Chains A and B, each alone.
Chain A
Amino acid sequence: MYAWIWRHLPGPWPVRTLVSLVLVAGVVLLLFTAVFPWAESSLPFLQVTVDQ
């Protein structure tokens, strides 16, 4: 998978490294701002209210 991505990135290796880092940063940002906030709503220790 990663080898496949690497092969399909354009340019020489320094450019590919830079692009990969940007991609990783983008994925982490997406996780922190969208995926994790959604996932945490089901965490047990965030349920602090009494409810039916």
Chain B
Amino acid sequence: MIRTAVRGTGELLITAGLVVLLFVAYQLVWTNYEAHKATDSVASDLRDSWDRPNPSGAGPAAARGPKKVDFGKGFAFLHIPRLGKNWTIPVVEGVDLPDLAKGVGHYPKTAQPGAIGNFAVAGHRATNGEPFAYLDKVRKGDLVVAETEDSWFTYVVDRTKIVSPTSVWVLDPVPGHPGATPSEPLLTLTTCNPRWASYERLIVFGHLTETRSKAEGPPDALVRTGGKA
């Protein structure tokens, strides 16, 4: 009787241990595999939709910035040469976990890329594709390019800051100036800090320095580092 109970408990504990190990494998390997697959599919869908002729007959540059998209749908690309020669990731609408598993997520109430106000984006730093794994390498003066259907928007990084998880002010149209009316296009990137914890957030702030139409070709920031259109 006691023997059976002890054996049963032992088996349960070993099983629990195996499940925990499986969960670690799931996090470190499987979520990245799934996220890369999802990211690739979002990216190729977006490129395809851009390449398709516009059914309305209007030119591709007709709209001012990208139109509103559904949550979880890609609408732009982010290029950060500091993170890798051809580092690029689709930007999807929304910052919930299912959205962030497909790329980096655009905070829904913030500005569109290139628009006056604050274009704010969140991304994973560990597992689930971990696009912002090395966001801490980004320095003042680095360039971040947002690519939309008809434009290249080049932002230059002004500063990086580590803040508390409740610092929603970083998303303000003018971060640090609540209620201020924005006068220029700004950029905010957020991720967790430290990489494997969550008691802080790592923030990258920038402002728009150059706008080019797709017809003019990619900005120097990408050409020089070998990025392609």
Contact = CB atoms under 8 A, between A and B. Distances in A.
B100 interface: yes
Contact of B124 (A44, A48, A51): A48
A36 B26 contact: yes
Interface residues of A, number: 20
A48 B125 contact: yes
Chain B's interface size range is 35 or more
Contacts of B163: 50
Contacts of B107: 49
Given A44-B192, A46-B128, A51 B123 contact: no
B112 interface: no
Contacts of A50: 163, 165-168, 170-171, 190, 201, 203
Contacts, number: 83
A18 interface: no
B124 to A, nearest CB: 6
B11 A48 contact: no
Interface of A: 1-3, 28, 31-32, 36, 39-41, 43-52
